[in-house]
């Protein structure tokens, strides 16, 4: 099932509740929250206190994308704050198996993320531990970057592995997703579509979300 995960990174942080409401009215069914530590990625964003406030404004799943080092230390705080899904980067975690089990032990959905420079093969030992795999289609750290097409074959390969190994993870994609790129990623097999600037960048998040989902569904229909 195709779903739109609205990434609040590009939203107006002074009016987050309103902006989330508009994106939800436009069809977003997941709220994607980018957590950056200034070490793993060259930017700083938010931590558990903001997630806790977001929790009060929406019933949609809060998809917390951790772009941080030492994730194990912070996972309990995000769980307590109300995260529903937590994903960690393969590149930032030397004990990935432990971290993914830790996330699940808290009753939260675990996901694993790979950067554009990381091959999907790096995930072969953890695919059975996750509910979703997030393929980055930009180098993480900032919204509004250009889509990197190398993500498309990675999505396709993840869909093949899933079928071959009888697994159930969902495939998420993040970075540069807009009307002009969504078709290719959906046809490759991505179903959780993260979009920041395409939803919150300019204009009305409700209309933007609706337009993007419409383009996604049309591409899926044309898939055959």
Residue whose CB is less far from ligand DX5, 67 or 129: 67
Residue whose CB is less far from Zn ion, 189 or 196: 196
Least Å from the CB of residue 166 to Zn ion: 28
CA 150 remoteness from chain centre: 17
Tell me, yes or no, if 184 is annotated catalytic: no
Least Å from the CB of residue 107 to ligand DX5: 24
Catalytic residue selected from 34, 37, 63, 93 = 34
Residue whose CB is less far from ligand DX5, 74 or 168: 74
Residues at the contact surface with ligand DX5, assessed by CB under 6 A: 7, 9-10, 32, 34, 65, 138, 140-141, 143-145, 174-177, 194-198
Catalytic residue selected from 84, 128, 174, 204 = 174
Residue 175 interface partner, choices ligand DX5, Zn ion, none, CB cut-off 5-8 Å depending on type: ligand DX5
Residues at the contact surface with Zn ion, assessed by CB under 5 A: 34, 65, 174
* Pairing of β 62-67 and β 109-114: unpaired
Alpha carbon of 125 to those of 27, 51, 104, 115, 220: distances in Å?
Answer: 35, 30, 16, 17, 30
Q: Is the dihedral of CA 60, 194, 43, 124 positive or negative?
A: positive
Q: What is the 3-state secondary structure of 158-219?
A: HHHHHHHHCCCCEEEEECCCCCCCHHHHHHHCCCEEEECHHHHCCCCHHHHHHHHHHHHHHH
Report, as residue numbers or ranges, the catalytic residues: 34, 174
């Amino acid at each position: 099932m195709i779903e739109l995960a609205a990434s609040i990174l590009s939203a107006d942080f002074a009016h987050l509740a309103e902006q989330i409401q508009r994106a939800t009215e436009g069809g977003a069914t997941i709220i994607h929250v980018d957590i950056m530590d200034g070490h793993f990625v060259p930017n700083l964003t938010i931590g558990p206190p903001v997630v806790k406030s977001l929790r009060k404004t929406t019933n949609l799943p809060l998809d917390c994308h951790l772009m941080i080092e030492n994730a194990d230390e912070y996972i309990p705080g995000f769980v307590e704050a109300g995260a529903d899904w937590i994903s960690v980067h393969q590149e930032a975690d030397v004990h990935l198996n432990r971290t993914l089990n830790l996330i699940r032990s808290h009753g939260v959905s675990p996901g694993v993320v790979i950067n554009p420079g990381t091959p999907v093969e790096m995930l072969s030992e953890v695919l059975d531990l996750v509910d979703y795999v997030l393929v980055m289609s930009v180098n993480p750290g900032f919204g509004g970057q250009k889509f990197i097409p190398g993500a498309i074959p990675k999505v396709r390969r993840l869909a093949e592995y899933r079928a071959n190994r009888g697994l159930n993870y969902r495939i998420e994609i993040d970075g540069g997703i807009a009307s002009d790129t969504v078709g290719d990623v959906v046809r490759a097999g991505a179903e959780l579509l993260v979009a920041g600037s395409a939803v919150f960048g300019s204009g009305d998040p409700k209309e933007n979300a609706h337009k993007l989902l419409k383009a996604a569904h049309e591409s899926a229909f044309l898939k055959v």
